[in-house]
């Protein structure tokens, strides 16, 4: 039996077991997927334990996305540019391969909305943390023009240089109203909603406001965006799409059903609301 898990701290809220077990059950696969709390500072010791316990794949969430790289014996180009991994796969030589599926997860979630042709399109991205790094890598590779705004402007300049092969613009979040008119799409990667606040937006005029957050933290921001005339979408499909990329790595290229897992996750979030 294939043993899989998601590691993080906190981990109780993770939807990953629900997503992966839905696919494992639907496809009748001989595999298990659990969530395991690993406190900060214990990443490397935990990975040694997981090796001995026979785990073959791990999803990695906060606070371990960078720390796992110390144990990775093979890393994808995306991981190198983004500087973080969310998927580990045991190699036959006993090492771990590190991948970042948040990047293809975002482009797959946008493609699900019919957004695939990025040449000549301008994306305004808000926030410059870990989620932004994956988004920048993906959208730079896809050919979009990016304007990156962050509360701490130096961080925005820094991550553009690290995650993008092409030149893009950056600035303070206070520039939002000024540059918003240039954007075909706005992607919010800030964690403002987790702190109970939201980013104030100018009029959307029917454009898409895509928030990487989902569930309760996303609600005030999406309500505000809707009231300002934006079409809105939360990050739940991105979560499911990044899970599908991990699943595909672990199960020899199998593509699981996105819509089944998305419906199950939506129902779970509604029950929690
Ligand atoms: P980080 O902590 O790495 O980054 C948070 C960012 O938000 C920083 O740029 C920070 O600015 C900014 N920020 C925080 N509070 C405020 C505020 N009140 N006003 C303005 N800016 C603020 O978080 P992550 O990048 O890991 O995660 C961000 C969001 O993306 C979370 O909601 C997370 O759940 C979601 N996410 C969703 C995924 C999905 O699959 N859908 C995958 C990964 C993340 P500063 O730099 O100035 O501190």
What is the CB neighbour count within 10 angstroms for residue 198? 21
Ligand 1 centroid distance, CA of 126 (Å): 9
pLDDT for the residue 273 = 75
Each residue's pLDDT, cut to its tens digit, for the chain (273 residues) gives: 999 999 999 999 999 999 999 999 999 999 999 999 999 999 999 999 999 999 999 999 999 999 999 999 999 999 999 999 999 999 999 999 999 999 999 999 999 999 999 999 999 999 999 999 999 999 999 999 999 999 999 999 999 999 999 999 999 999 999 999 999 999 999 999 999 999 999 999 999 999 999 999 999 999 999 999 999 999 999 999 999 999 999 999 999 999 999 999 999 999 987
Among 256, 257, 262, 247, smallest CA distance to 58 is for 247
Q: Count Cβ atoms below 10 Å from residue 36 Cβ, excluding itself.
A: 16
**Encoded tokens for 136:** 């920048």
Rounded distance, CA 70 to CA 248, Å?
24
CATH topology of domain 2-100+242-272: Rossmann fold (3.40.50)
Same fold flag, 2-100+242-272 and 104-234: yes
Ligand 1, atom 2, lies closest to the CA of: 129
CB neighbours of 163 closer than 8 A, spacing ≥ 6?
81, 82, 83, 133, 136, 137, 140
pLDDT at position 152: 98
Query: Does ligand 1 come within 6 angstroms of the Cβ of 239?
Result: yes
Cis peptide before 63 (omega within 30 of 0): yes
Q: Which of 127, 153, 186, 239 gets mutated to test ligand 1 (max ligand atoms within 8 A of its CB)?
A: 127
Q: Is the CB of 265 under 6 A from ligand 1?
A: no
CB of 238 closer than 6 A to ligand 1?
A: yes
CA distance 83 to 42: 19
Segments in 55-214 forming alpha helices (H) = 77-82, 102-112, 130-142, 153-163, 176-179
Q: Is 129 in the pocket of ligand 1 (CB under 6 A)?
A: yes
Annotated catalytic residues are: 65
Place of tokens 């606070």: 63
Q: Among the CATH numbers 1.10.10.10, 3.60.20.30, 3.40.50.720, 3.50.50.60, which is that of 104-234?
A: 3.40.50.720
Domain ranges of the chain: 2-100+242-272, 104-234
Cα atoms in the 13 Å half-sphere on the side-chain side of 169: 14
pLDDT digit string, tens, across residues 113-161? 999 999 999 999 999 999 999 999 999 999 999 999 999 999 999 999 9
In this structure, are residues 1 and 243 in contact, taking their beta carbons and an 8 Å threshold? no
């Amino acid at each position: 039996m294939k043993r899989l898990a998601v590691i993080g701290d906190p981990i109780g809220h993770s939807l990953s077991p629900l997503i992966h077990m839905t696919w494992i059950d639907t496809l009748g696969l001989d595999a298990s997927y659990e969530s395991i709390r690993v406190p900060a500072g214990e990443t490397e010791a935990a990975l040694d334990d997981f090796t001995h316990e026979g785990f073959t794949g791990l999803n990695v969430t906060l606070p371990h996305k960078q720390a796992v790289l110390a144990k990775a014996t093979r890393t994808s180009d995306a991981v190198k540019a983004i500087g973080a991994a969310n998927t580990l796969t045991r190699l036959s030589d006993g090492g771990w391969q590190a991948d970042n599926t948040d990047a293809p997860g975002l482009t797959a979630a946008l493609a699900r909305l019919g957004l695939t042709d990025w040449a000549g399109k301008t994306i305004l991205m808000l926030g410059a943390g870990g989620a932004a790094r994956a988004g920048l890598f993906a959208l730079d590779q896809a050919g979009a023009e990016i304007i990156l705004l962050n509360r701490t402007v130096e961080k925005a300049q820094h991550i553009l240089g690290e995650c993008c092969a092409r030149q893009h613009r950056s600035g303070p979040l206070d520039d939002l109203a000024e540059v918003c008119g240039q954007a075909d799409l706005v992607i919010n990667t800030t964690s403002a909603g987790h702190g109970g606040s939201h980013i104030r937006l100018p009029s959307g005029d029917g454009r898409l406001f895509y928030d990487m957050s989902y569930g309760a933290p996303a609600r005030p921001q999406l309500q505000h965006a809707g009231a300002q005339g934006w079409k809105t979408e939360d990050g739940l499909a991105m979560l499911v799409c990044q899970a599908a990329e991990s699943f595909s790595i672990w199960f020899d290229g199998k593509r699981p059903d996105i819509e089944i897992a998305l419906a199950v996750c939506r129902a779970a979030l509604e029950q929690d609301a």
